[in-house]
Amino acid sequence: MVANVVLTGGVGSRLWPLSRKNKPKQYLDLFDGKSLFQQTVLRNKAFCDHLVIVGNTDNSDLSRKSLTDLGISDYIEIIESTPRNTAAAIAFAAFSVSSDTVLLVTPSDHLIEDAAEYAKSLHEAVQLANDGFIVTFGLKPTKPETGFGYIQIRNNEVLSFREKPDLQTAKEFIESGEFYWNSGMFCFKAGVFLNELKNLQPDVYNASLSAFEKSSKGILPLEESLLIPSISVDYAVMEKTDKIKAVEADFIWSDMGSFESVYEYLVKKGHHVDEHGNMVIGTNICTNFLGIKNTILVVTDDAILVLNKENAQDVKSVYEQLEFNNQSILQ
């Protein structure tokens, strides 16, 4: 039995002003008429018997509406009262199913193409998970990307995890042929994961279990949740367990984490760019660019953002500044 665990947290700060706290990027209808959240659910439905949605009090209504629009009503819903990072989020999902259920853990905001290659990778991961391994997916890189973490892999064995590199280091990673993008996707039996979490991070395990046991109608209590250490599943389990295996995946993948990713996607879909690579998103107003190249103009009802495509990662710093001096514009 396989359950798709969809992690719906995150505000998509690098996609402000399109992505807002009240409607993060995973719920935006920018991608072939469906949101990234909806695409994630539909993509994995063919491989999974059950669906577990791990969300929060800010986005649970968006998830429910998105699933209703797809005609899906049979799923487990877990609502965090406060975010405690991915180790706890996955633990809640694992507590909600039987110990021998294989969990396919996926973020809700990734764009994945090449269905045949994706299916091949999932089948490999599920087989490894059934054999008792904790599986991570490494994506074959297409360029020296500085916005992703990397996994060093050789013959399904994980040699190391690396943080987001600078450009020169990313180029060296690519040249080595052993480094893959860290996709944030995982596969393992619920019981295997919980045993590893209990052994490696007992404080996270115990506090998460306490909060889960006191949940009501899928909503986790705030007081107990605040006692859970906030730590990513990579740091808590993946980088420490001796049960780790990796699938070397080659499907087309993007975390849609920046306007550079959105730009590349829209270009493939035929969105207009001028002869200098400039693009307008969000308005049909006649717009002309003079003396600049590779510039993206993003327009919403209450905000305008102008950026060079190569500076797409820097949008997060704008978001962080607004958190201090103009929070209302982030809603």
CB burial readout 81-107, b (16+ within 10 A) else e: bebbbbbbbbbbbbbbbeeebbbbbbb
Q: pLDDT tens-digit profile of 175-197?
A: 988 999 999 999 999 999 999 99
DSSP result, 282-298: S--S-----S--SEEEE
pTM, 2 dp = 0.90
Mind listing the pLDDT tens digit for each residue in 217-255?
899 999 999 999 999 999 999 999 999 999 999 898 888
> Would you say residue 331 has pLDDT above 70?
no
2-254 belongs to CATH 3.90.550.10: yes
CA–CA dist 220, 197 (Å, integer): 19
For helices 190-200 and 85-95, give the axis angle rounded to 10 degrees.
130
pLDDT per residue as tens digits for the range 57-88: 889 999 999 999 999 999 999 999 999 999 99
Residue ranges covered by each domain of the chain: 2-254, 259-330
Among the residue ranges 198-202, 290-294, 316-320, the one predicted with the least confidence is 316-320
Work out the pLDDT band at 318, boundaries 50, 70, 90. Answer: confident
List the beta bridge partners of residue 111: 254
Enclosing H/E stretch for 109: none
pLDDT of the residue at 215: 94
Q: Which of 62, 96, 58 is nearest to 77 (CA)?
A: 96
Question: pLDDT for 124-171, tens place per residue?
Answer: 999 999 999 999 999 999 888 888 899 999 988 999 999 989 999 999
